[in-house]
């Protein structure tokens, strides 16, 4: 209804209802469409301040579906706005227990406390922190999302007179509009987080941006890396389920950390193995990615060594790893049936990386690469001769780390 040139009405009234109504309209309409929690919070803070609410700090939290992160927090102060993840571990600490946020979320109620007369013990540490930073009044309220979940929002003022009744009326009446503005982006973030958890970060990004159909594929260069626990099946035949899972998870943790640290993607876990990929973004990037993959393999080996020391002290068997690295053209994207997809890499280059990794148990090396990789980073590798590869007519030269 608004043309690009027409402007909305300005505030000529001071009744809290009208102010709240204008801000509510902005939140539900324009604010929501930003799809960006930071912009919503910044815009909301600006409008509240412009309408006379003496806001110095605002925080809006929402839950997130993620194994390590329990929520997402967006904070605005007069110095600026920022957002960050709330680790799941916080739920076990006193930072959460007894906090105003816990109170409002669990009771779906509001919480209000003047910060000039705090009780040293009974009032939560976060209130003391706010007071130490110059805060005079604290107000928190619950936000209801339409899936039934409850989130929290808190407001602080440094004005020694605190929040007036009018201020609190305005803030309270914005409960639903704030939820309206934040819920879509909270949900999107949750969805992306789930995708990243189960597909890997690179694929998650592609899928979230619309690569959702079979045939959504790109052909590109990539470094492909297969790593697994050498001889694991044989060794683990007599272990308990719990020991198996622990060993495999510990190994996966090591691999994931090393791969992610160098901007690679874990595409798949296969038994006790891992398929990772380091997409190459141009000829000049090839060497960098090969180096990254090699360093990843080295780090995996080193961290596994450290893990083994710990395992030995616990009376457990050591684990050994074998890694194969190749660089070549791959097809990256969705394969599968029409409604059951896998976002992965396909192509002869992938098969070769896997076969080279198999050779580790033959040569006894823990890391083997192909000529394509060794040619790009010759200082890291030395040849270990020619080998026959199942399914290929030609023998392949393998390279071990120097």
Which residues ranging from 54 to 83 are in contact with another protein (CB under 8 A)? 65-68
Quick one: which of 156, 293, 341, 359 contacts another protein (CB under 8 A)?
A: 341
Q: Is 190 in the site for another protein (CB under 8 A)?
A: yes
Window 6-35: residues binding another protein (CB under 8 A): 6-10, 12-13, 17-18, 21-22, 24-25, 28-29, 32-35
Segment near another protein (CB under 8 A); pick from 114-122, 311-319, 345-353, 366-374: 345-353
Smallest CA-to-CA distance from 330 within 280, 371, 260, 392 is with: 280
Shortest approach of another protein to residue 340 CB, angstroms? Answer: 5
Q: Report DSSP letters for 243-257, one per residue.
A: HHHHHHHHHHHHHHH
Window 233-262: residues binding another protein (CB under 8 A): 233-234, 237-238, 241-242, 244-245, 248-249, 252-253, 255-257, 260
Q: Is 339 in the site for another protein (CB under 8 A)?
A: yes
Strand order in the sheet with 150-157: 80-87, 69-77, 57-63, 150-157, 137-144, 111-114
Smallest CA-to-CA distance from 389 within 376, 379, 398 is with: 398
Instruction: List the x/- string, 141-180, binding to another protein by CB under 8 A.
Output: ---xxxx----------------------------xx--x
Quick one: which of 102, 112, 184, 298 contacts another protein (CB under 8 A)?
A: 184
Shortest approach of another protein to residue 107 CB, angstroms? Answer: 20
Shortest approach of another protein to residue 182 CB, angstroms? Answer: 10
Q: What 3-state DSSP class applies to 60?
A: strand
Contact 369, 296 (CB under 8 A): no
Smallest CA-to-CA distance from 98 within 61, 72, 127, 71 is with: 127
Segment near another protein (CB under 8 A); pick from 54-62, 97-105, 190-198, 292-300: 190-198
Question: Quick one: which H or E segment has residue 25?
Answer: helix 16-26
Residue number with CB closer to another protein (19 or 45): 19
Count residues near another protein (CB under 8 A): 102
Which residues does residue 387 pair with via DSSP β-bridges, in sequence order? Answer: 396
Contact 151, 62 (CB under 8 A): yes
Q: How far apart are the first and last CA of the chain?
A: 68
């Amino acid at each position: 209804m608004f043309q690009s040139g027409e402007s909305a009405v300005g505030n000529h009234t001071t009744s809290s209802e009208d102010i709240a109504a204008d801000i509510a309209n902005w939140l539900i309409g324009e604010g929501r469409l930003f799809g960006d929690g930071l912009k919503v919070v910044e815009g909301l803070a600006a409008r509240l301040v412009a309408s006379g609410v003496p806001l110095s700090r605002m925080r809006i939290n929402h839950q997130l579906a993620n194994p390590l992160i329990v929520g997402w927090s967006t904070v605005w102060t007069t110095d600026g706005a920022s957002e960050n993840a709330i680790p799941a571990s916080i739920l076990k600490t006193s930072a959460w227990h007894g906090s105003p946020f816990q109170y409002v979320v669990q009771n779906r109620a509001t919480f209000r406390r003047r910060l000039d007369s705090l009780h040293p013990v009974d009032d939560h540490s976060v209130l003391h922190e706010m007071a130490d930073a110059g805060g005079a009044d604290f107000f928190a309220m619950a936000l209801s999302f339409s899936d039934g979940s409850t989130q929290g929002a808190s407001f602080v003022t440094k004005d020694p007179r605190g929040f007036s009744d009018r201020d609190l009326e305005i803030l309270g009446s914005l409960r639903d509009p704030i939820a309206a503005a934040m819920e879509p982006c909270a949900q999107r973030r949750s969805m992306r987080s789930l995708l990243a958890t189960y597909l890997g970060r690179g694929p998650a990004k592609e899928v979230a941006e619309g690569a959702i159909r079979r045939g959504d594929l790109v052909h590109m260069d990539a470094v492909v890396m297969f790593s697994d626990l050498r001889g694991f099946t044989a060794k683990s035949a007599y272990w308990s389920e719990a020991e198996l899972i622990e060993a495999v998870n510990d190994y996966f943790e090591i691999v994931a950390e090393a791969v992610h640290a160098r901007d690679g993607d874990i595409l798949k876990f296969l038994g006790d193995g891992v398929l990772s990929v380091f997409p190459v973004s141009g000829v000049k990037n090839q060497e960098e990615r090969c180096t990254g993959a090699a360093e990843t393999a080295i780090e995996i080996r080193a961290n596994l060594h450290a893990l083994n020391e710990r395992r030995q002290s616990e009376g457990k068997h050591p684990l050994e790893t074998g890694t194969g690295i190749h660089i070549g053209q791959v097809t990256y994207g969705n394969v599968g049936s029409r409604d059951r997809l896998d976002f992965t890499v396909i192509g002869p280059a992938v098969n070769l990386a896997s076969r080279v990794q198999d050779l580790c148990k033959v040569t006894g090396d823990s890391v083997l690469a192909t000529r394509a990789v060794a040619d790009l980073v010759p200082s890291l590798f030395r040849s270990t001769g020619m080998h026959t590869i199942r399914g290929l007519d030609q023998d392949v030269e393998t390279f071990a780390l120097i």
